[in-house]
C-alpha cells in the first residue's frame, strides 16, 4: 500500500502495510510472516538474507529497504516510502562489509 494511504488502525493484513503489494506479501509469507504484528522485533537484514536463501537468488537491495520500512512502521514509526531507508541500508551494508557491525543480523540500535 502507498505510505500516504496507510491508516495505522486499519492495518490487519500484510498488504495494509506501507510499500507492500501482493508480491512482497507472498515473500513475507514465505518467510513465515502471516500478520503485520509478527514483524515486531525482527531484524530486517536477517529477513532479507533469509529471503535470498529461500528464493535461491540475491534479492534487489531495495527489498531490504522495504523490509526496513515495514518493521519501522510496525514498531511505531510513521509510514514512509521505502526509499527513505536507502541511505540507512547502504551504511548498514558498508559496516557489514567492513566487519564493523557487531552482529550482521541486526540494524543499529537493535
For each of the domains in the chain, give its residue range(s) and CATH number, in order of start.
3-98 (1.10.150)
Task: Please give the grid coordinates belonging to residue 63.
Answer: 527489498
pLDDT in tens, 37-93: 999 999 999 999 999 999 999 999 999 999 999 999 999 999 999 999 999 999 988
Q: How far is the CA of 1 from the CAs of 6, 23, 36, 98, in angstroms?
A: 7, 12, 13, 35
The three-state DSSP-derived secondary structure of 25-67 is HHHHHHCCCCCHHHHCCCCHHHHHHHHHHHHCCCCCHHHHHHH
pLDDT-derived band at 101 (thresholds 50, 70, 90) equals low
- Decide if 80 contacts 66 (C-beta within 8 A): no
Query: Which three cell numbers, joined as nine digits, stand for 74?
Result: 510496525
pLDDT greater than 50 at residue 104: no
The number of beta carbons lying within 10 Å of the beta carbon of residue 58 is 11
User: Would the pTM count as exceeding 0.75?
Assistant: yes
Amino acid at each position: 500500500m502507498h505510505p500516504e494511504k496507510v491508516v495505522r488502525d486499519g492495518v490487519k493484513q500484510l498488504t495494509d502495510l506501507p510499500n507492500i503489494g501482493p508480491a512482497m506479501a507472498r515473500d513475507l509469507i514465505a518467510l513465515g510472516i502471516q500478520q503485520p504484528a509478527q514483524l515486531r522485533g525482527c531484524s530486517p537484514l536477517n529477513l532479507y538474507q533469509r529471503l535470498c536463501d529461500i528464493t535461491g537468488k540475491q534479492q534487489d537491495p531495495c527489498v531490504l529497504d522495504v523490509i526496513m520500512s515495514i518493521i519501522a512502521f510496525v514498531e511505531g514509526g510513521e509510514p514512509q516510502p521505502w526509499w527513505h531507508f536507502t541511505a540507512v541500508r547502504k551504511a548498514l551494508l558498508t559496516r557489514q562489509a567492513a566487519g564493523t557491525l557487531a552482529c550482521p543480523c541486526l540494524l543499529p540500535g537493535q
